[in-house]
Structure 1
Amino acid sequence: MSRTNRLQDLIRVLRHHPGPIGGPELAAALDVSLRHLYQDIAVLRAVGVEVVNEPGRGYVLPPEVRLPPAALAEPAPADGPAALVFYTNPLSRGGIVHWMLEELGATYRMVTLEYGAAMKAPEYLAINPLGKVPAIRHGETVVTEAAAICAYLADAFPEAGLAPPPAARGDYYRWLFLAAGPLESAIALNDLGVAPTPEQAMRLGCGDYWTLVDTLAEAVAGRPYIAGDAFSAADVYVGSHIGWGMQFGTLPRRPEFEAYWAGLRERPAHRRCEAHIEQVLAR
C-alpha cells in the first residue's frame, strides 16, 4: 500500500472513530505495524495535521483540524522537494544539518521538537529510536546522525556540488568521520575532566585529545577547505565543530582554527542559520 493510501486510511479511521483510539487498536484497524503507524502520524504532523495523543486514552483528530492538500498528496519522488522533512531543535547538533540544508538550496520542512516528551514520543521514536535530533525523512528514507545526514544529502542533491567526485573523496571521508567519531569522543572526555593514561588512550578509538587537536589544526592550516579546493559537506561538519568548540571552550583558539572558521562563518547559508537561532532565542 502506498503512503498516500495509508495516510488517507489513517485520517478516515480517526475521523470516524467515536473518541480516542489506542495505538495498538489503531494499528490493527489499519493492518500496519505500530512502527509504521507512528511514522505515518509523524508524517501527518510534519505537514500540519495535528493528530493529538491523549495520555491514557489514545489518538484523536480534533474536528477543527483542517487537512492541507499536502497531507493527502502522493509523496514526491525521493529527490523531490516536498519529500524532505527535517527534525531538529535550534539548540542542538541539528544546527549542522540546518546549515547543510541551506547550502543545498533544497526545499524542506522543519519540524522543531522540544527536549523531553516530544523527542521521546512514540511517533518520533519511530523516526529515531534514540529520541534525539537531528533526523531527516527524505521520501521513504530516514537518516539520523548529523555526519551521516550531511554525507547523505550531498549525494542526494549532487547538483549542489557539496561532495567531491568519488575518486577524490579520501580527505572528504577522512575528516568528516574523524570529526564525527574520534574528535567528538575526545572532546567529550576532555570536557568531563577524563584524562586517559597512555595505556587507556591506546584502547580508545579517539586516542589522545591533544594529538587530535594538533592533527586537526595541521589539516586546516593555510587551507580554506578541508577536502580539496572546494567547499563541501566535510567543511559544514568539521567547521561546525571547530566554531562551536572555540565558542564554548572545548577546543583551543588556535590560529589555524581561527583562520579556517573565519572563512566559513560568513557564508550566506550559515548566516541564515544564525539568524534563525537568534529569532528563536528572542522569542
Structure 2
Amino acid sequence: MSRTTRLQDLIRELRHHTGPIGGPELAERLGITLRTLYQDVAALRAVGVEVVNTPGQGYVLSPDVVLPPAALAEPAPREPAELIFFTNPLSRGGIVHWMLEELGVSYRTVVLEYGTTMKSPDYLALNPMGKVPAIRHGDAVITEAAAICAYLADVFPTAGLAPPTADRADYYRWLFFAAGPLEAALGLGLLGVHPTPEQQVQLGCGDVWAVLDALSGAVAGRRYIAGDRFSAADVYVGSHLGWGMHFGTIPRRPEFEAYWAGLRDRPARARCEAFVEQALSPLA
C-alpha cells in the first residue's frame, strides 16, 4: 500500500468515526502498525492537516478539514545520501559498527589510524577532536557514539531501533547514562583515580559503585533495557557491559551476564566481530 493510499484511508477513517478513536484501535482498523500510524499522522500535520490526539481519548479530525490532492502526492524520489563510517578496529567505533549492521543500510567504512590519518587536516575538518567514531551522512556530520546511535535510529525509522516517541523515557535515560556516568566512572578507575566522597559531589558520575548498582537494577530480569524490543540503547549499553566484563573493568555481576547473554550472539554483532578479527589479523 502506498503512502498516499494510507493517508487517504486514515483521513476517511477519522472523518467517519464518531468522537476520538484510540491509536491501537485506529491502527488495527487501517491494517497498519502503531509506528506507521504515528508516522502518517506526522505526515498529515506536516502538510497542515491538524489531527488532534487527546491523551486518554484518542485521535480526532475536524470535520471541516479540506486537503488539497497535491498534499498527499508521493514525494519525488531522491538519491539517498551517502553514509560514511569513520572508525578504527580498536575503538568505540565498534558500537557504531554494530548499530549500522543492525540497521541493514548501505554504508562505506573508512579505517583511520591513531596519530596519523586520525589527526590529518581532512579528518580534523570533520571532527576537530581527531577521534573516532564519526559518520558523515550526506552533509551531516555526527560524532560521539551515543549521539550517532540515536541519530541513526531516528533517520532510519523502519529498522525499529528506537521506541515510539511517547515511550522513550528508558531509552534516553539508559543510553545517555551509559554515555555519561558509566563511561566517566570507569575512565577514572582505569586511570587509578578514586574520588573522595567530597570530590564525588562535584562529579556527574559520583561513585562508581553507585553507577554500577543503578545499571544492575536497570537490566536485572530484563531482556532489553528500554521496553520489550531491542533498541539502540541495547547496542550502546550492551557494548559497554560486554567489553567491560571481558577486559575486567566491569565486574561480572549475574544481572550483567544474563543481559549480555541475550545480546552477544546477534548476527549483526557477529559480523562486527568478524571485521575486527580480519582487521587485526595482520598484527597477530
* TM-score normalized with structure 1 length: 0.71
Counterpart Cα distance in 1 of 2:134 and 2:189? 27
How many residues in Structure 1 have an aligned counterpart in Structure 2? 206
Which secondary structure state, in structure 1, belongs to the residue aligned with residue 126 of structure 2?
A: coil
Which residue in the other structure is 1:209 paired with? 208
Counterpart of 2:144 in structure 1: which amino acid? E
Which residue in the other structure is 1:247 paired with? 246
Larger radius of gyration: 2
CA RMSD, Structure 1 to Structure 2 (Å): 1.2
Which residue in the other structure is 1:236 paired with? 235
Which secondary structure state, in structure 2, belongs to the residue aligned with residue 203 of structure 1?
A: coil
Which residue in the other structure is 2:187 paired with? 188
Which residue in the other structure is 2:131 paired with? 132
Counterpart Cα distance in 1 of 2:271 and 2:125? 30
Counterpart of 2:114 in structure 1: which amino acid? Y
1:88/1:151 CA distance change after superposition, 3 Å = same
What is the correspondence of 1:59-138 to structure 2 with a 5 Å cutoff? Answer: 80=80, 83-138=82-137
The unaligned stretches of length 5 or more in structure 2 are 1-76
Shift of residue 77, structure 1, vs aligned partner:
5.3
Counterpart Cα distance in 2 of 1:211 and 1:245? 16
Counterpart Cα distance in 1 of 2:137 and 2:98? 17
Which residue in the other structure is 1:270 paired with? 269
Counterpart of 1:85 in structure 2: which amino acid? I
Counterpart Cα distance in 2 of 1:105 and 1:77? 19
Contact 1:77 1:83 in 2 (8 A): no
Q: What whole-Å deviation, never above 9, does each CA across 1:238-258 have from its counterpart, x for those lacking one?
A: 000000100111100000000
Q: What whole-Å deviation, never above 9, does each CA across 1:189-213 have from its counterpart, x for those lacking one?
A: 1121211111111110001000001
Q: What whole-Å deviation, never above 9, does each CA across 1:50-108 have from its counterpart, x for those lacking one?
A: xxxxxxxxxxxxxxxxxxxxxxxxxx958x2x510000001100000000000000100
Counterpart of 1:211 in structure 2: which amino acid? A
Contact 1:162 1:232 in 2 (8 A): yes
Q: What whole-Å deviation, never above 9, does each CA across 1:95-151 have from its counterpart, x for those lacking one?
A: 000000000001000000011110111000011000000000001100000000000
Counterpart Cα distance in 2 of 1:277 and 1:244? 14
Counterpart Cα distance in 2 of 1:270 and 1:193? 31
Counterpart Cα distance in 2 of 1:77 and 1:142? 20
Shift of residue 227, structure 1, vs aligned partner:
0.4
Counterpart Cα distance in 1 of 2:191 and 2:135? 30
Which secondary structure state, in structure 2, belongs to the residue aligned with residue 126 of structure 1?
A: helix
Shift of residue 282, structure 1, vs aligned partner:
1.3
Counterpart Cα distance in 2 of 1:229 and 1:84? 29
Q: Which runs of 4+ in 1 moved over 6 A?
A: none
Which secondary structure state, in structure 2, belongs to the residue aligned with residue 234 of structure 1?
A: helix
Which residue in the other structure is 1:54 paired with? none
Which residue in the other structure is 2:258 paired with? 259
Q: What whole-Å deviation, never above 9, does each CA across 1:171-203 have from its counterpart, x for those lacking one?
A: 000000000011100001112121111111111
Which residue in the other structure is 1:73 paired with? none
Counterpart Cα distance in 2 of 1:276 and 1:140? 27
1:77/1:197 CA distance change after superposition, 3 Å = farther
Counterpart Cα distance in 2 of 1:208 and 1:104? 35
